[in-house]
Amino acid sequence: MQFFLYLFIALLLLGNLVVLLIFQEKSPILDFLIKHNWYFPYHVVLTLYLLPLGEFGRELREKSFMNFCHVIGPILMKEINPHKPELFAGLKAAGESGKSGKPLTVLEIGIGPCTNFPYYPGKCELVVVEPESFFRKEVEQKLKSYPGIHLKGFYDIGAEDMTSVIDSGTIDAVIGTLVLCSVNNNDSVLREVLRVLKPGGKYYFYEHVKSKPSWKRKIQEFLHWSTIWRYWMCGCDFYDTHKLIKKTGFSTVECKEAYLSYSKFSLPLEFINHNYYGIATK
């Protein structure tokens, strides 16, 4: 009995420490955890600790997920960025060649921490649809380094229904990288992407998908069924997204496979290591 009491108190103290930590973007303790490969166990413990809070804990979980993204982001980007020049070559070229015409209108859905700006055309009109309004500051801040990109609109709504902010057939290029895993309805998002594009307009995507039949796919199915992954990763889930894109009704879909390599430090990457990237043309 006493043992459980002590265990309870210990967990409570540990939990409080953990909750304290997530309120700091940068703390020496966080740095220590990251440096010694303890960040992921820490993140699991934190998520479990917030479990009994249910909906009340959502804000804390989102905050901790943001921190998580800031830790995992650079690791992920190191793996993904080598594919981006190839993916966005056509977009850059189209933007640069339109000297006489107007700059391209680009829509980025789920822009997050703006990892794609380096691959944008030098000059464009940018519309952002990003349900997390706190990214607006980051977009404005980062755009200072890209004077040719003019922010035409930032809408903090989901891309499932953009009818109130974007007219049909008005966008030259839609960009979405690592977005479709976390939307509320992937089918509606894709139908909206198709709607807003001009005829011949292009949708540039990079998504992680469910693994091919293997033990990993079985674990993913369990994580999906139990909603553990969705809960831990704030809405991310496993789907055969590349197949869904092909079924949406674009005139052509060109895509390529990529596999991320992962390190001990970034174990969760093992589950999102099967990726597809490509261009769907309306």
Residue 145, CA atoms < 13 Å, CB-side half-sphere: 10
Cβ-based nearer residue to ligand NAG, 165 or 244: 244
Q: How many binding residues for ligand NAG (CB under 6 A)? A: 6
Contact call for residue 115 and ligand NAG (CB under 6 A)? no
Please, what is the minimum distance in Å from the beta carbon of residue 161 to ligand NAG? 13
The residue whose two tokens read 């992962």 is: 262
CA–CA dist 97, 176 (Å, integer): 23
Sheet holding 274-281, edge to edge: 149-155, 124-129, 104-109, 171-177, 197-208, 274-281, 252-259
Among residues 62 and 240, whose Cβ is nearest to ligand NAG? 240
- Least distance between ligand NAG and beta carbon 246 (Å): 10
Min dist. Cβ of residue 190 to ligand NAG (A): 9
Smallest gap, in angstroms, from Cβ of residue 4 to ligand NAG? Answer: 39
**66 contacts: CB under 8 Å, gap ≥ 6:** none
Cβ proximity to ligand NAG: between 185 and 252 the closer is: 185
Helical ranges in the chain per DSSP H: 2-22, 28-35, 39-50, 58-80, 84-97, 135-143, 186-196, 215-225, 228-232, 241-247
Q: Is 186 an interacting residue with respect to ligand NAG (CB under 6 A)?
A: yes
Considering beta carbons, is residue 154 or 239 the nearer one to ligand NAG?
239
Position closest to ligand NAG via CB: 186
Stretch that binds ligand NAG, among 25-33, 129-137, 179-187, 258-266 (CB under 6 A): 179-187
> Please, what is the minimum distance in Å from the beta carbon of residue 235 to ligand NAG?
9
Least Å distance, CB 192 to ligand NAG, is 13
| List of residues 6+ apart from 10 with CB closer than 8 A | none
What are the angstrom distances between the C-alpha of 48 and each of 5, 19, 118? 19, 11, 37
What is the rounded distance in angstroms from the CA atom of residue 28 to the CA atom of residue 24?
10
Residue 136 near residue 156, CB atoms below 8 Å: yes
Which span sits near ligand NAG by CB under 6 A: 13-21, 63-71, 146-154, 184-192? 184-192
C-alpha 189/C-alpha 97 separation (Å) is 30
Q: Is residue 117 a contact residue for ligand NAG (CB under 6 A)? A: no
Which region among 28-36, 89-97, 131-139, 180-188 touches ligand NAG (by CB under 6 A)?
180-188
Please tell me the distance from the alpha carbon of residue 241 to that of residue 248, in angstroms, as a whole number. Answer: 11
Site residues for ligand NAG, window 205-264 (CB under 6 A)? 239-240, 244
Q: Which is nearer to ligand NAG, 139 or 179 (CB)?
A: 179
> Judged by CB under 6 A, which of 145, 185, 227, 263 binds ligand NAG?
185
Positions in the binding site for ligand NAG (CB under 6 A): 185-187, 239-240, 244
